[in-house]
Amino acid sequence: MHRIQLRVRFGETDMAGHVNNAVYLSYLEEARIRFLEEVLGVTELPFILASAKLDFLRQVFFRDALTVTTGVIRLGRTSLHLVHQLRRNADDALALQSETVLVHFNYATQKPEPLPSSWRPLLMAHITEVPKVRTS
């Protein structure tokens, strides 16, 4: 699984003192961008986010150091299905698990396009199963 490190900034928290739920999408976006840049060796990212499912498991707070992992769970003809896990570094507690779907997209034609064949082996090297998570 691909890994990145993040640190929670004060402005990402809400009145309850924990990270606001909308901020997690930004964390996952950062993880996806760095995953795609490093794995595919690209700087342009011709993708749109088609779906995002987030399971919030534990709270995250200001100054927490975080690790976000990203793996591929399925490759479609035009789509890339990812799993992300976000953990607090201090106690390795799983705070969030997410599944996202990206579609390879041609912005000029405004239509999906097949994933390039040269990307498939690079992405297949990161295939993983969706980790089972106890939510209770």
Q: What is the CATH number of the domain that holds 103?
A: 3.10.129.10
**What residues in the chain have per-residue pLDDT under 50?**
none
Domain assignment present for residue 74? The answer is: yes
Residue 86 lies in a domain: yes
Q: Which domain holds residue 43?
A: 2-124
Q: How far apart are the C-alpha atoms of 37 and 13, rounded to whole Å?
A: 28
Residue 92 lies in a domain: yes
DSSP letters for 96-110: EEEEEEEEEEETTTT
Per the CB < 8 A criterion, the answer to whether 111 and 105 are in contact is yes
In a domain, 21, yes or no: yes
Q: How many domains does the chain have?
A: 1
Q: Is the overall model pTM greater than 0.75, yes or no?
A: yes
Residues 99 and 49: their CA atoms lie apart, in Å, by 11
pLDDT given for residue 70 in this prediction: 97
Whether residue 67 is contained in a domain is answered as yes
132 within domain boundaries:
no
Spatial distance between the Cα atoms of 129 and 101, rounded to a whole number of angstroms: 15
Are 131 and 85 spatial neighbours (Cβ–Cβ below 8 Å)?
yes
| Model pLDDT, residue 133 | 76
Distance CA 40, CA 95 (A): 28
Note the pLDDT tens digit of each residue in 15-45: 999 999 999 999 999 999 999 999 999 989 9
Which residue in the block uniquely carries the two structure tokens 């698990």?
97
